[in-house]
Structure 1
């Protein structure tokens, strides 16, 4: 499992409505992800705004970016996402003692 620092950064990144929307879009896009231009068009973000939000998601460890030719693609790090889900559910219903 990843560290509490990862979990804190991930939750902070997803606590922003725009970043949560981007993350959800990338989850729906699947393992191939989307090129940055397509993400920007979907939300209508200015390039600098989109770069800021994607940078935050990358820094949080939730999104991976890679260059393919002249395009930069972003995709969800599903292992990290699943680790975050595991963190949320690992103590489910175990009591508060």
Structure 2
């Protein structure tokens, strides 16, 4: 992962509402969580939720999948792992 990609992911997660959304999606596991459930639990308007989801999707942190009439958000765990690995990669390198 390069620094620009990591910075974009961290920027998206740096907003309290997006972080709350992402935590819900991560907790939901591989099956994901319906957009309506996220909206209801956070009590935010659909247009606001859509805006925040768009940012998380563009950063590669989640994807959406439609099943019939329900749209699910699913975490891209490999991206999350890559961001964490990027942050830890040089841990203690300069320690003497």
Quickly name the TM-score band, shorter chain normalised. over 0.9
SS at match of 1:66: strand
Distance 1:36 1:68 in 2: 12
Structure 1 match to 2:69? 70
Structure 1 gap ranges (5+) = none
What TM-score do you get using the length of structure 1 for normalisation? 0.93
SS at match of 1:31: helix
Q: How many residues align?
A: 96
Structure 2 match to 1:38? 37
Q: Which runs of 4+ in 1 moved over 3 A?
A: none
What TM-score do you get using the length of structure 2 for normalisation? 0.94
Structure 2 gap ranges (5+) = none
**Mean Cα displacement is larger for which, 67-76 or 87-96?**
87-96
The two structures, once aligned, show a CA RMSD in angstroms of 1.4
